[in-house]
Structures are given as C-alpha cells and as structure tokens.
C-alpha cells in the first residue's frame, strides 16, 4: 500500500486519489514545534484495539496534523495500517515526510474529518479498529506567522485550515452584520462582551477594512472593560477562537464526524477524542453518552434485542492533563480527553 492523498486542490464531491511516495508540495523547514498532547494515555487507550495478534488492524487519525500521534501508533503497532486525514495541505506534506519510514502501511488523505465515510469507502475499509480526534488548531497553524491564527502576532486575517478554499476571517469580520458577528463571538467564543466587540468592529470597518490580526486584537482589547482585561489571559483569545471555528465550520463538521466514526468502529474498536474547549467537549460527551446507554424501555427486566448500549465508556468524565505534562507542553492545559470502546457483538 502506498500513500494516498487527495489532490492539492480539494473538491468536496469529487476526490482525486494518487499513489506513490513523491506526492505533495516540496518540504521546507518545519515551522513550529510539535509535542503530541496526552500521547502515552492515547497509546494506552488504543492499544487493546490495535493489538490483534496476526490480524492487520486499521487506525484512523482524523486530525493528522504534523503526525506525532500517528508516528507513535505506527511504531507501537507494526501490523497497523494508518488512515490519516487533514484539511491542511501544508500539514499533510510535513506528516508525509515524518511518516516516510512507514509508507507501505499509510494512507494520507486531504479531507475534513466529516468526510471519513467517503474516504473509507474509497480505500475499501468497511470497519476500523481505532480512531483518534485531536481537535482544534494545530501547532503548525499556531506557529506559522502568516496564517492569522495567533492574536499575539501580526498577520493577514486568514484562519483557514485549508488555504485552498473557503472564506477567510477577514471576510467574516468585514461582511457579517452586527447580530451575526455577535452570535459567532457569543456562541463559539463564549464571549460575554460579544455585542460590544461587534459594535466596535462595525464602527471601525466603516472607516477602513480590518485586515490584520494585530488590528483586530487591538479593537477587541479596546472593547472590553479594563477590569475584565486584568484576568483570563489575552482578551482577544475568545474572539480569535470564535472566528476560527466559524471560518472552518469546525463544530458542524464534528457533529457529523463523530457518529460516522463510531459507526465505522469494529467490535472491540476504540475511539479517543481530545477537545480543547467546552463546545467541542460537549459534542463529544453527547455523542459517546448516547451510545453508552440502551434505547429500550427502562422498566423491562431484560433488554430487547438491538436496544442495548453499543459503546462502553473508558474514561470517567473528561480526563485532564497532569501538572507535569502541562509544564512540559503548555498547549495541554485546556485538553479534555474522552474515550470509548465498541461493545463486542454477542
């Protein structure tokens, strides 16, 4: 098996699949660093599903990023085939180089994770044994100064994880009306000063378009009362999170991707989800909980056939990173891990 990847320009309804080891853009120097979050815990949770004796197992990394989790899985499980998805062509190029030693059992695909069913169908896999979602923005995207994700650096307001398609944060900031901007900031950023920030944006963009991350961060800061700016870190972080989620349609994609991934799990298969804010974690919690309980009448002495739970939860609530991990990797500070196993068919 060779590396598979969608073409550099990705089309949602028509996939162009190529094989071979020389795909993609030329590798430049890796921008940023990459420390996989909760790596040892993820490996421990996935191991029972991926260790199946002489049987080849299939693991999906739905958010491949720079390939840190994927590389560790491939090293630990020499009979496991990886299907790695990412919407960012630059991340795929770096991951491809990193995973070159395992190229004979790797498929890399330029796709958003809600397209997993189509990807698996195209690759010929009906069931998979492991799935990992490491949600949110990647190290590459945060550390790249020209992507516009970081409020601490001046850059064009882009924020697209896939820069080959879709609207930018600049378009959102300069074209959305005040009610819609307020909704995005309040719902996706959980920003209590959303209306004030939206009003400031409307006023300032009437004078000149807002095109840089530094300018937007300045406007957000000026919109928030001074006492509120003294706590909670950079006052722009919630606005930037909200715009990133809106630009990339992250929550809508996750709401359809998780059920599809759970449907694809083989009996005994396992899913691990790393979330970084409450909205992601809420979607993960609901998706797992819905399948961890039966659907039949509660007053019956035995479960009716086909009404029992299909998942067994592997974590009690959401697991957090240890103090030691947060010290070594500050991006683990907000992580919430949830995991579940597909119940073996009786």
Annotated binding site for S-adenosyl-L-methionine: 67-69, 86, 113, 134, 141
CA dist 302 and 119 (Å) reads 39
On whether the CB atoms of residues 78 and 104 are closer than 8 A, the answer is no
Please list, in sequence order, all residues whose beta carbon lies within 8 angstroms of the beta carbon of residue 226, skipping any fewer than 6 positions away.
Answer: none
Smallest CA-to-CA distance from 235 within 216, 211, 208 is with 216
Burial of 66 (0-12, 13-18, 19+ CB in 10 A): buried
CA dihedral 61, 65, 70, 72 (to 10 degrees): -140
Provide the annotated binding site: 67-69, 86, 113, 134, 141
Here the contacts of 288-297 (C-beta below 8 Å, separation 24 or greater) are 288/262, 288/313, 288/338, 288/340, 289/313, 291/262, 291/340, 292/340
Smallest CA-to-CA distance from 12 within 195, 253, 197 is with 253
Beta-bridge partner residues of 61:
84, 132
CA dihedral 266, 320, 229, 186 (to 10 degrees): 30
Beta-bridge partner residues of 128:
265
């Amino acid at each position: 098996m060779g590396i598979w990847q969608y073409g550099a320009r990705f089309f949602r309804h028509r996939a162009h699949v190529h094989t071979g080891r020389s795909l993609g853009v030329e590798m430049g120097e890796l921008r940023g660093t990459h420390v996989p979050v909760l790596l040892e815990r993820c490996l421990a949770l996935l191991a029972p599903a991926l260790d199946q004796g002489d049987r080849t197992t299939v693991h999906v990394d739905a958010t491949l990023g720079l390939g840190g989790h994927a590389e560790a899985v491939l090293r630990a499980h020499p009979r496991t085939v990886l299907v790695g998805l990412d919407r960012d062509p630059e991340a795929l190029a770096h991951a491809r180089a990193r995973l070159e030693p395992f190229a004979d059992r790797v498929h890399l695909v330029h796709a958003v994770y809600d397209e997993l069913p189509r990807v698996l169908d195209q690759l010929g896999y009906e069931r998979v044994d492991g799935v990992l979602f490491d949600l949110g923005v990647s190290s590459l995207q945060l550390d790249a100064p020209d992507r516009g994700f970081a409020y601490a650096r001046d850059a064009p307001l882009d924020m697209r994880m896939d820069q080959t398609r879709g609207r930018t944060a600049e378009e959102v900031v300069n074209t959305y009306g005040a009610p819609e901007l307020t909704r995005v900031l309040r719902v996706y950023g959980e920003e209590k000063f959303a209306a004030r920030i939206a009003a400031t944006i409307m006023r300032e963009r009437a004078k000149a378009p807002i095109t840089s991350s530094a300018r937007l961060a300045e406007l957000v800061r000026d919109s928030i009362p001074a006492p509120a700016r003294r706590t909670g870190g950079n006052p722009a972080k919630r606005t930037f999170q909200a715009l990133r989620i809106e630009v990339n349609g992250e929550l809508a994609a996750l709401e359809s991707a998780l059920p599809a991934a759970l449907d694809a799990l083989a009996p005994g298969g396992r899913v691990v989800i790393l979330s970084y804010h409450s909205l992601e974690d809420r979607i993960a919690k609901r998706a797992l909980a819905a399948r961890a309980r039966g659907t039949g009448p509660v007053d019956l002495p035995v479960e009716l056939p086909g009404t029992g739970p299909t998942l067994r939860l592997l974590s009690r609530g959401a697991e957090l990173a240890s103090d030691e991990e947060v010290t070594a990797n500050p991006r683990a500070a907000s992580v919430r891990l949830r995991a579940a196993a597909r119940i073996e068919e009786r």
